[in-house]
Chain A
Amino acid sequence: MSQNDKKGFTDSKMFIRAIKDSFIKLSPKTQSKNPVMLLVYISAIMTTLLWIVSLFGIKDVDSGYTLAIAVILWFTVLFANFAEAIAEGRGKAQADALRASKKDVQARKLSSENERENVTLVSSATLKKGDIVIVSAGEMIPSDGEIIVGAASVDESAITGESAPVIREAGGDKSAVTGGTTVLSDEIIVSVTNNPGESFLDKMISMVEGAARKKTPNEIALQIFLIALSIIFILVTLSLYTYSAFSAQQKGIENPTSVTTLVALLVCLAPTTIGALLSAIGIAGMSRLNKSNVLAMSGRAIEAAGDVDILMLDKTGTITLGNRSATEFIPVSGVDVKELARTAQLSSLADETPEGRSVVILAKEKFDIREVTLTDKNVKFIPFTATTRMSGIDYDGDEIRKGAADSIKKYITENGGEYPAECDSIVKEIASKGGTPLVVAKNKKVQGVIYLKDIIKQGVKEKFADLRKMGIKTIMITGDNPLTAAAIAAEAGVDDFLAEATPEGKLAMIRDYQSKGHLVAMTGDGTNDAPALAQADVAVAMNSGTQAAKEAGNMVDLDSSPTKLIDIVRIGKQLLMTRGSLTTFSIANDVAKYFAIIPALFTGLYPGLSALNIMGLQSPQSAVLSAIIYNALIIIALIPLALKGVKYREITAGKLLSRNLLIYGVGGLIAPFIFIKLIDMLLVVMGVC
């Protein structure tokens, strides 16, 4: 999903499509899904009818005025449609790209995995769960499935946007393949895991397109609140009409309140701003998640991400860089440290593991020991074996070995050498600091210890501190022993850790936290992670993981990046914050609208009420028009905010609340006073009123 290229082009295309969609969405069926906007829609129809009958002389107010109100109301509806359409636009563009990759291909179906020769050619669209197909290099995988035989490199760029091929193989945690991806090398036999129309790609298309988007519980709850407010305002305007008639009759004058103005008042008061933007906010949240290459199975999962207060993070890749590196050489028995470094470097020359390379680099950087070229010398590399658990080199008559403390100890004592006690204590100290000690021996004498350390990623400690301020605890999951884990946990600043983690251990830990009322998020990839993923409140499965893991999770991370969890929480919180802030803004706006419309309605009855016209609006008609124009334009003005989300900061709930209240609550009180006045002035200048 390469969104960033061709941005300008797609933007203008998206814009045109959104405008078109705004009109398509005028159908009553679409409108009835959003009760608040339905109210505006009905009001627009009503004022239009009022204008038509006013042309025949049946009217309580100037027909030009009724027309103006009707037009503005139609624009209000269109603006709301546009907000939703533009939010859907990005998803639609993504869906189109995905659909393109969902081609119908010929699949080579086998009757069983053992009879490779017995191939029938079928259309991929007819493949059912349990069918077995064979896919060779250059062919597209016809359907989602599990590799049962073989291994292959697969190009998954159609799904992930990542061009580097990935290895998929039978057995283990990397056995899942996705329909629509292409096999680059080798041949695999795949067992189909989905029936037609239920594939991952199908799900993905309907998710990004918003077709499968159901209203989340929180959205429904908010909508109930908005409907209740709308009902109250309907009653307010209806009773207002009778109050006004009563007061007019008491004064012996004609009822000054026109139906048109009452309809305008109703639309102004109803929470149209949030009503118009509510679904756009939800779609945009989903879209932001897709943009970071995470696919949520439901909108509910995104909201749950906002609530999460326990993050279970895998150590490797999230907290520490993937591999350990050498950071120090510690000599024993009076060996010169430079000598140790040289020996250590020699021992690692043939060691192509990242740890081995880091020893060579450290020796070079710290002691300026150049890598020696070994081709012309009498050299024998000793590779690492499971029995000796050592590696090394025989070079220039020297026998150099490197390995874990206990294996070197065994090697030395078996050869009659003496293993120094000093070495033992150094080894222990390193382990207690969370490091891994490697002992180096030369000619069966211990020279010293290499200190391999887990390198904590830059900035994670600060990140975790920020999360803690927001009330989110971080838990490190690692296979290390408790001692090492504790040391890394302390250094990274996580709140808790799970050492020697097993799938059962993870599951137990999640249950324990949940029973204390916490909401837990985790990532996982293997089949054995499935129970824990199913238990967690927010479960992100790696796309590289197994089918079982993907089904157990409620989100899939297409990049398979362990740090995604933090982004997901941010997106979830931002979505909820945007919803709350715009609701507050919308309701706060009503105060100013009252001050615009009430004096306009009633100064005829009680001239004293003109004191309430604190904005000094020109005339009753200009006041009503300004209020309702503001009401329409504010929707357009807030679309970018609805799509982008309100600014997110990692601060405490109290501070977040004061901040958002100040901006959207107080701002929502003040802004309409200013803009309604400005619109009124503009109307006067233009000579409309």
Chain B
Amino acid sequence: MEAVLEYALYLAILVILAVPLGIYIKKLMKGEHTFLSPLLNPCERAVYKLLRIDSEKEMSVKQYIISLLIFSVFGFVFLFLLQLLQGILPFNPQGLSGVKWDLAFNTTASFITNTNWQAYTGESTLSYLTQSLGLTVQNFLSSATGIAVLFALIRGFTRVKTDTVGNFWTDITRILVHLLIPLNIIISLILVGGGVIQNISPAKALPLLEPIAVSADGEIIENAVIDVEANTVTLNGSKIEGAQIVTEQFVPMGPCASQVAPKQSGTNGGGFMGVNSAHPLENPNPFTNIVEMISILLIPAALCFTFGSAIKNKKQGIAIFMAMFICLGIALSVIAVNEQIGTPQLSQSGNVDISSEMQSGGNMEGKETRFGITASSTWAAFTTAASNGSVNAMHDSLTPISGMVTMLLMQLGEVIFGGVGCGLYGMLAFAILTVFIAGLMVGRTPEFLGKKIEPFEMKWAVIVSLATPVAILIGSGIAVMLPEITDSISNSGAHGFSQVLYAFSSCGGNNGSAFAGFNANTVFLNITLGLIMLFARFIPIIGILKIAGSMANKKRIATTAGTLSTTNAMFVFLLIFIVLLVGALSFFPALALGPIAEFLETMV
């Protein structure tokens, strides 16, 4: 019961914060006055002056797309070179060498596309310069790009018979100056206050409270008797040769909080540490956990209200929000219940106490004791619903059905809130598919928000909606044919297949979270997953902008009693149904061979 209250609390905080933020974002999109304008407008103007941007100049869709692509290509080249050259660049106290080309390509693609798939371990691969000037900057820019595309689409819906959809540079500047930078300063400060580290000192070696012994091949020897002074290790009375005694531990340091804030709020997900927000210095306690967790969905949820407010149809924003919220609620419930009851194997021998009396209980494998089932399940749902990808527990260790839910959330194309901007515009593409079918059933050619859906919109809407399934199916279909894939997976059978499927779903959905236990740092995987991320990001962006341009050019059809309502419960239900149907039809066979088979096998 308490757990239910806790889940409800998380969701309630989210909604309470999202509504005013949504209205704020609408104001900044339109350049209206906000309470921060006196402070931020001069900064905005300074940027325009510095970069010689004519902020009032409207762009055609073609110009908007070209600007966006130039912006992304420039970011790509910069980040790629930064990684290759980090060995000879400053702020590298660990003396880390340049990143290998395939990994650098993968990481660059990953951060440019707001995916933040990490085939590397941050603390041992990237210098502080790469982390802050490369990754943190991309955390801001890739999120801003997603929101800018959404702005263009909103203008497409609201404008009538025009050829322009706004100015890309103005949009990016406003999003950064008025939203992402101030918001993340606030979140960073809260996190630092909560105990997340923020420094530029090199990693430290600190004494362990109790020494541990490792064998010659690096395995920890359990129950060993350690004599530090004599430097001997004995197990069950017999001395172990070649064993080493470890008395100090490696403690990573660095500018962590400032990267964690945009990582969470910009649905990026790329952790400062390899184990992401499960690491005690990146996410030390329940307080920082709740801040980081709410940050994941804050902007994606707020944008629904921005949308409603900007198209002067608040109900429409609420309807889209409800569709996402209901899906999230269902996903969260399924994960929560499955993690709580665990699996028959966990409970049968009695070795694992899965009761929740006086403890968090349930399936605690892969979870941090300081978070427990509730906070870990909520995070798992939030991070895969949004295309965030940060984790505070290892998804590899989720029960099969929970694992399937996280995978499905990504396979749906990251439209259940999804990434900042891209989640909502992806959902709107699904809304176009929904009105197309439902609209016909009321005896009219389909229209959405007063604009007719014709072959051009339909073509791009299906491309946007199906880019993710196509990328995942092709990528994983090829991957499993390669003999070396078996070296990357740490389990055989259905779970091994799930690991592959998860990796491709994560990249295809631009999520970036990992099923731990999958070694993705191979040349083949770095290249294919990198390409998949780029495909699943930029094809939909181009599609959405094309739709925006065509919509802006259309006249608006009057609403009558014969018009299909897109704000009522029926539409919300239909939208959910279409999203789930496309997802289910595309992935049912794959899921049957992975988590469903795993689940059913545990039942026998």
Contact = CB atoms under 8 A, between A and B. Distances in A.
B370 interface: no
Nearest to A220: B455
Interface stretch (A286-294, A399-407, A583-591): A583-591
Contacts of B477: 235, 238-239, 242-243
Contact of A232 (B453, B466, B556): B466
A505 B500 CA distance: 69
B558 A518 contact: yes
Interface stretch (A124-132, A443-451, A527-535, A600-608): A600-608
B497 A243 contact: yes
Contacts of B455: 217, 220-221, 224
Contact of B436 (A221, A304, A577, A598): A221
Nearest to A247: B593
Nearest to B492: A250
A116 B453 CA distance: 58
B585 to A, nearest CB: 6
B481 A245 contact: yes
B562 A472 contact: yes
B440 A471 contact: no
A218 interface: yes
B441 A221 contact: no
B570 A247 contact: no
A583 B434 CA distance: 12
Contacts, number: 216
Contacts of B603: 608, 611
Contact of A307 (B444, B463, B496, B600): B444
B497 A579 contact: no
A542 interface: no
A356 interface: no
Interface stretch (A14-22, A175-183, A629-637, A648-656): A648-656
Interface string A224-240: 11001101110110111
Contacts of B584: 591
B33 interface: no
A413 interface: no
B493 A580 contact: no
Interface residues of A, number: 75
Given A517-B555, A577-B441, A584-B437, A236 B589 contact: yes
Contact of A217 (B454, B469, B473, B599): B454
Contact of B442 (A220, A225, A656): A656
Nearest to A608: B600
Contact of B493 (A247, A471, A652): A247
A235 B592 CA distance: 16
B326 to A, nearest CB: 18
Interface string B561-581: 111110010100010000001
A220 B456 CA distance: 10
Given A577-B443, A609-B596, A653-B563, A519 B478 contact: no
Contacts of B570: 654, 657-658, 661
Nearest to A610: B600
Given A242-B478, A243-B593, A652 B443 contact: no
B445 A306 contact: yes
A546 interface: no
Contact of A608 (B486, B588, B601): B601
B275 interface: no
24 contacts: A218-B454, A221-B453, A221-B457, A235-B477, A238-B477, A239-B590, A243-B590, A245-B481, A309-B560, A517-B556, A518-B558, A572-B443, A576-B444, A577-B441, A591-B581, A608-B597, A612-B592, A612-B600, A652-B562, A653-B565, A656-B443, A657-B441, A657-B564, A660-B442
Given A239-B590, A516-B558, A660-B442, 8 more contacts: A224-B459, A225-B436, A225-B437, A240-B589, A243-B477, A247-B494, A584-B437, A653-B561
Interface of A: 217-218, 220-222, 224-225, 228-229, 231-233, 235-236, 238-240, 242-247, 250-251, 269, 303-304, 306-307, 309, 468-473, 516-519, 572-574, 576-577, 579-581, 583-584, 587, 590-591, 594, 598, 601-602, 605-609, 611-612, 648, 652-654, 656-658, 660-661, 664
Interface of B: 433, 436-446, 450, 453-455, 457-459, 462-463, 466, 469-470, 473-474, 476-478, 480-481, 485-486, 492-494, 496-497, 500, 555-558, 560-565, 568, 570, 574, 581-582, 584-586, 588-590, 592-593, 596-597, 599-601, 603-604
